[in-house]
Amino acid sequence: TLKFVDERIAVVQRELDSINFKLQLFQQENNIIQPESQSSNYLARIEEANKEASEQAIQLTNAQMIDDYLNDQENAFTPVPSVLGIPDPTLIEMIAGYNKAQLERVRLLENAPPGNVAVQQIEQQIHVLRSKIIENLKNIKASFRSAIGNIESRERAALGQVRLYPAKMQIYTEIQRAQATKLVVYNSLLEKREQSAISLASTISNTKVLQDARANPSPIRP
């Protein structure tokens, strides 16, 4: 029995090693460490990307609204109401200067006609500032679009992983199931071997020599 069990243990050990290697290789190739945590992480990344993309899209819309306002000739000599929360120090400073120039023009017109040299100079200054702000807004919008593109790229990558995850997890689960089954057989054989070894060690012969054999001095017959 011990010989048979030892032979089976050797076979099952090789099969178990093969399954363990297959599982390890599959984990490395598919970057699977903690499946449940990784699945939650992918979903969290998608949610975060959606939130970031939404924030960037709002900023892009705000920048476009300011751009449209400045390009509207009806607003040529009116201050920009707000930067709409765009966190760009250069834009904030330029619009502050632009609005200051607009207020200066209004002040000059209170005491001088539109054709006055000082009024014309401030209007030219306003025109230059408007062009600079529009150019700055162009760069800001390009930056927002680039950021949105990068975020969407990360989101697509995460979505791709989520779509592939069920198929990967099915293969991963099948390998784990084969590993668990083979491990049960292996442990059962080890237990059987231990039982057989104990049984062999505890086996004592039930025969006892009561008297040594001896021959008669003379033969019974020739």
Model pLDDT for residues 106-147, shown as the tens digit of each residue = 888 888 888 888 888 999 999 999 999 999 999 999 999 999
Round the average pLDDT of the chain to a whole number and report it: 85
Long-range contacts of 120-126 (CB under 8 A, 24+ apart): 123/77, 125/101, 126/76, 126/77, 126/98, 126/101, 126/102
At residue 36 the predicted structure's pLDDT band, cuts being 50, 70 and 90, is: low
The pTM score is 0.59
What are the φ/ψ torsions at residue 220 (nearest 5 degrees)? -70, -40
Segments in 72-116 forming alpha helices (H) = 89-109
- Residue 115 burial (CB < 10 Å; 0-12/13-18/19+)? exposed
- pLDDT mean over 63-77: 89
Q: Minimal CA–CA distance to 80: which of 101, 92, 95?
A: 95
**pLDDT tens, 163-202?**
777 777 778 778 888 888 888 888 988 888 888 887 777 7
